[in-house]
Structure 1
């Protein structure tokens, strides 16, 4: 049996970790952490991120690359904000699982071996998101606040 005392802080940690990781990646591709080539910066601008997107989606038509780069960015921004707020947590976690799993699969088929998937902890993040989707009633969330307001208004 799960201990509610451990599940609730764990779900908060997973929400915060995934949410900030998504938003940090989005910030990187818009140059907020510095220009391309800066230490600790993966892309530095959207052009470099689009190039990376092409690298990991080489098996798809090149015309889809900009769309895929934007879809990934919009998904990460949306899920990042929703997870930090704890709003529609289950749906956001399931969407995050799908996004991260797609990313892991693309990384795996585009490079020799699983080094990148392991180094960037993509499978760990996907697993954490999937576990988060199965946490019943996260109490430290906007979802919980809205549930309590609804219960009070129905009383």
Structure 2
């Protein structure tokens, strides 16, 4: 969520991108193999998914599914960063660790502080 806030300009001077245009340029670097239009679209899709997955994980709704999807999304980011910028950039931003953490969360069987738990308790 902090990365989304950064690309939308909420972190001002203390930012990686600072604004949407810089984020689109960065996305273009990561997706150099895509046509410009699709690269631009991927910036919007990634931002939407980061917002949606972040909120769903915070409230704990469909946690296993969303954690797996988050792991895949972060793995795509990590692979793109590693190929286009080198492995160090993906390691610096801990994208591989974030992906592994999301997959680890998906392996859990019980989420006591979640909407999932509340809904399953009300079914009984």
Q: TM-score band (shorter)? A: over 0.9
**Residue 76 of structure 1: how far off its partner (Å):** 0.3
Give RMSD over aligned pairs: 0.9
Larger radius of gyration: 1
Q: Which runs of 5+ in 1 are unaligned?
A: 1-22
Look up the match of 1:118. Answer: 91
Structure 2 equivalent of residue 141 of structure 1 = 114
Q: Check if 1:74 corresponds to 2:48.
A: yes
How far 1:137 moved relative to its partner?
2.0
Which residue does 1:60 correspond to in 2?
Answer: 34
Q: Any stretches of 5+ residues in structure 2 without a counterpart?
A: none
CA displacement, residues 73-116 of structure 1 (integer Å, 9 cap, x when unaligned): 001000100011011101110110111000001001102x3110
Residue 66 of structure 1 deviates from its aligned partner by 1.5
| Aligned twin of 1:150 | 123
TM-score, with length taken from structure 2: 0.96
Normalising to structure 1: TM-score of the pair?
0.77
